Amino acid sequence: MVSPGTVLNSRYRIDERIASGGMGDVWKGTDEVLDRTVAIKVMLPALLEEAGFVKRFHAEAKTMAGINHPGVVRIYDFGNDAHLAYLIMELIEGDPLSRTLNKVGRLTPARTMLLVAQAAEALQAAHDRGIVHRDVKPGNLLVRPNGTLVLTDFGIARSAAASQLTATGAVMGTASYLAPEQASGEGASAASDVYSLGVVAYQCLTGHRPYEGDTPLEIAMKHVTGTPKPMPSDIPPVVRQIVERSMAKNPAHRWPSAAAFAGAARQAAGALTHGTGPTLPVQPVSPSPVSATPVSPVPSRPLSPATPGPVRPNGGYQRGSAAVPAAPAPLTPVHGVPYGPQAPAQESGGGRTALTVILVVLGMLAVLACAGYLGYLARQNSTNQSKSLGIPAHSEHVTLSAAGWLNGTDHVSMDQMTEGRRTR
């Protein structure tokens, strides 16, 4: 018996049990040489008593170690002594599909087809190496957190199929996935793995196994002669046809290979996924071209980031969104023109010029009016003075001729002239 702390081959330390099956227990362990975590499967001691088991175990372990497929668990090492045989495998971080089904009951058709496609591709990789799994069931399909599936726990011992019909506990689950030819005692083949995977798909879609019974033998016989319950009507017909073909009683009526099964399932999964819409790739939208207004060339200057504003119909930029650097000399201000059709431009300053002309004319008229009025007052004053001095009105003005002035006849002393009048 093994227990936590047991070291196998002075290298592999057993830490904790993580699963149990019809052929043995799976433990989480440590490779103390490479310092990495591994999965250690310890075969049941009873299997060592069967003739030829150890030889077949070694041969198939070597073959499995040569499988290089992301959907098949990797084999690192194997060994045996007088008491036990063990297999050192890759430790898969994930949950068995059986645990998921226990939680949710059913899976969607698209999700089921995607998982079945991955499992069938992994089976094909094993079949290409001449290896038949012989124990395909949800407990041996591990689903990583990213949704990818890994096929584990290959049925190394060929004699295990015979002992499954009389075992208890976990064997009940194993009998539920047996192909009719296996239940009849015939040898397992690649077609047997296709049938078992079809039963897994049936359970994912319906939430239950196709056959139930009180004993593993009763369940196994129903795989030979029974008819499974029809699948729910909400399952697409193409999916039902794919699963029903994989579960045909006659191996010749099933999918010709696991690869053909995988291709049909993946095609259905793709059609169902793309038909839902959200997984379709979204085409990027190219930006609309922006029309630019030609401008006169000016020296390039860095602009501050534009302030978001309303979008113009022509896709142009918002006026005034960039800062203008200060110029070294005064610049003539440029008045912005609002967007859209404009009325004819008015000549700037026309109103002020007309107003200035009117004011000048009025000012001149006022000056002339004042001058005339003052002249009138002066004449009135002169007339009144002449009357008071007895000067005739006709002698108000003195007329001098050039000849009279030269001859002396009209010579008058300038001292006697006052404001155009002669004094006596």
Please identify every residue annotated as catalytic. Answer: 135
Picking from 97, 76, 86, 16, the residue whose alpha carbon sits closest to that of residue 54 is 86
251-271 burial string, b = 16+ CB within 10 Å, else e?
beebbebbbbbbbbbbebbee
The CA–CA distances, whole Å, from 394 to 280, 379, 390 equal 123, 14, 11
In the chain, count H helices and then E strands.
12, 11
Segment holding 217, helix H or strand E? helix 216-225
Helix then strand then coil, % of the chain, to nearest 5: 40, 10, 45
Rounded distance between C-alpha atoms, residue 128 and residue 190, angstroms: 10
Determine contact, residues 293/316, Cβ cutoff 8 Å: yes
Token representation of residue 56: 């077949």
C-alpha–C-alpha distance, residues 44 and 22, integer Å? 8
**Do 270 and 264 form a contact (C-beta atoms < 8 A)?**
no
**79 - beta bridge partners?**
86
Question: How many whole angstroms separate alpha carbon 150 and alpha carbon 122?
Answer: 8
**Under a CB-based contact definition with an 8 Å cutoff, are residues 92 and 142 in contact?**
yes
Residue with tokens 């008491």: 83
Lookup result for tokens 């008593």:
49
Query: Alpha helix locations (H) across 42-169?
Result: 53-65, 97-104, 109-128, 160-164
Q: Where are the beta strands (DSSP E) in 295-419?
A: 417-418
Cα angle for residues 54, 59, 62 (degrees, 5° grid): 125
Q: Exposed/middle/buried for 386, CB within 10 Å: 0-12, 13-18, 19+?
A: middle
Contact 154, 64 (CB under 8 A): yes
- As beta bridge partners, residue 72 has 151
Phi, psi of 181 (to 5 degrees): -65, -35
